[in-house]
Amino acid sequence: MPLFVYGTLCFEEVLGALLGRVPCAEPAALAGWRAAALARRPYPGLVPAPGGLARGCLLRGLTPEECAVLDAFEGAEYTMRAVAVDGGRAARTYVWCGGDVLAEDWDAERYAERVIAAYGR
Protein backbone atom coordinates (compact mmCIF):
# COMPACT_ATOMS: atom_id res chain seq x y z
CA MET A 1 0.00 0.00 0.00
CA PRO A 2 1.36 3.47 -0.81
CA LEU A 3 2.70 5.67 2.00
CA PHE A 4 1.42 9.24 2.39
CA VAL A 5 4.16 11.51 3.73
CA TYR A 6 3.68 15.17 4.61
CA GLY A 7 6.83 16.57 6.17
CA THR A 8 10.51 15.81 6.11
CA LEU A 9 9.93 12.64 4.08
CA CYS A 10 8.70 14.79 1.17
CA PHE A 11 12.28 15.96 0.64
CA GLU A 12 14.38 13.93 -1.79
CA GLU A 13 17.48 14.73 0.26
CA VAL A 14 15.99 13.06 3.33
CA LEU A 15 14.67 10.02 1.45
CA GLY A 16 17.97 9.58 -0.37
CA ALA A 17 19.95 9.77 2.87
CA LEU A 18 17.67 7.25 4.58
CA LEU A 19 17.02 4.79 1.76
CA GLY A 20 19.91 5.26 -0.62
CA ARG A 21 17.42 6.10 -3.35
CA VAL A 22 14.39 8.29 -3.95
CA PRO A 23 11.22 6.24 -4.41
CA CYS A 24 8.51 7.09 -6.91
CA ALA A 25 6.46 9.97 -5.46
CA GLU A 26 3.45 11.96 -6.56
CA PRO A 27 1.67 14.93 -4.96
CA ALA A 28 -1.25 14.01 -2.71
CA ALA A 29 -3.49 15.57 -0.08
CA LEU A 30 -5.32 14.26 2.97
CA ALA A 31 -8.57 15.99 3.95
CA GLY A 32 -9.49 16.41 7.61
CA TRP A 33 -5.87 16.51 8.80
CA ARG A 34 -3.01 19.01 9.03
CA ALA A 35 0.77 18.85 9.29
CA ALA A 36 1.15 20.70 12.58
CA ALA A 37 4.25 22.45 13.80
CA LEU A 38 5.59 20.86 16.98
CA ALA A 39 7.28 22.69 19.84
CA ARG A 40 11.08 22.32 19.86
CA ARG A 41 11.10 19.99 16.85
CA PRO A 42 12.07 20.67 13.22
CA TYR A 43 9.54 18.15 11.87
CA PRO A 44 5.72 18.10 11.82
CA GLY A 45 3.06 15.85 13.24
CA LEU A 46 -0.08 14.83 11.39
CA VAL A 47 -3.09 15.64 13.56
CA PRO A 48 -6.87 15.65 12.97
CA ALA A 49 -8.18 19.01 11.76
CA PRO A 50 -11.82 19.29 10.70
CA GLY A 51 -11.80 21.26 7.47
CA GLY A 52 -8.02 20.93 7.22
CA LEU A 53 -5.94 19.66 4.33
CA ALA A 54 -2.51 18.09 4.73
CA ARG A 55 -0.50 18.34 1.51
CA GLY A 56 2.26 15.87 0.88
CA CYS A 57 3.42 13.04 -1.35
CA LEU A 58 2.39 9.48 -1.99
CA LEU A 59 5.39 7.13 -2.03
CA ARG A 60 5.05 3.94 -4.05
CA GLY A 61 7.23 0.88 -4.47
CA LEU A 62 8.78 0.82 -1.02
CA THR A 63 10.33 -2.49 -0.02
CA PRO A 64 9.66 -4.03 3.42
CA GLU A 65 13.23 -3.14 4.38
CA GLU A 66 12.71 0.49 3.36
CA CYS A 67 9.45 0.61 5.33
CA ALA A 68 11.35 -0.62 8.40
CA VAL A 69 13.92 2.16 7.94
CA LEU A 70 11.18 4.79 7.70
CA ASP A 71 9.40 3.34 10.76
CA ALA A 72 12.62 3.63 12.77
CA PHE A 73 13.19 7.18 11.49
CA GLU A 74 9.70 8.26 12.54
CA GLY A 75 9.99 6.65 15.98
CA ALA A 76 7.57 5.79 18.75
CA GLU A 77 5.73 9.12 18.77
CA TYR A 78 4.04 8.20 15.50
CA THR A 79 1.58 5.43 14.77
CA MET A 80 0.71 3.97 11.38
CA ARG A 81 -2.86 4.50 10.18
CA ALA A 82 -4.81 3.63 7.04
CA VAL A 83 -6.19 6.71 5.28
CA ALA A 84 -7.82 7.73 2.00
CA VAL A 85 -5.98 10.47 0.12
CA ASP A 86 -7.32 12.66 -2.67
CA GLY A 87 -10.88 11.58 -2.09
CA GLY A 88 -10.50 7.85 -1.87
CA ARG A 89 -7.10 6.39 -2.78
CA ALA A 90 -6.02 3.96 -0.06
CA ALA A 91 -2.74 4.73 1.67
CA ARG A 92 -1.12 4.54 5.05
CA THR A 93 0.53 7.35 6.97
CA TYR A 94 2.31 8.26 10.18
CA VAL A 95 -0.01 10.01 12.67
CA TRP A 96 1.47 12.05 15.53
CA CYS A 97 0.70 10.62 18.99
CA GLY A 98 2.92 12.89 21.08
CA GLY A 99 2.26 16.25 22.63
CA ASP A 100 3.59 19.74 21.97
CA VAL A 101 1.28 20.40 18.99
CA LEU A 102 1.30 24.08 18.03
CA ALA A 103 -1.59 26.05 16.54
CA GLU A 104 0.31 26.82 13.35
CA ASP A 105 1.04 24.48 10.47
CA TRP A 106 4.57 23.21 9.81
CA ASP A 107 6.56 25.40 7.42
CA ALA A 108 8.32 23.27 4.78
CA GLU A 109 10.16 26.26 3.30
CA ARG A 110 11.62 27.18 6.67
CA TYR A 111 12.70 23.57 7.21
CA ALA A 112 14.39 23.55 3.80
CA GLU A 113 16.28 26.75 4.57
CA ARG A 114 17.49 25.58 7.98
CA VAL A 115 17.94 21.83 7.73
CA ILE A 116 17.98 20.43 4.21
CA ALA A 117 21.34 21.98 3.34
CA ALA A 118 22.91 19.63 5.90
CA TYR A 119 21.81 16.56 3.92
CA GLY A 120 23.87 17.66 0.92
CA ARG A 121 27.11 17.85 2.91
Q: Annotated catalytic sites, by residue?
A: 74
Rounded Cα distance, 28 and 19, in Å: 21
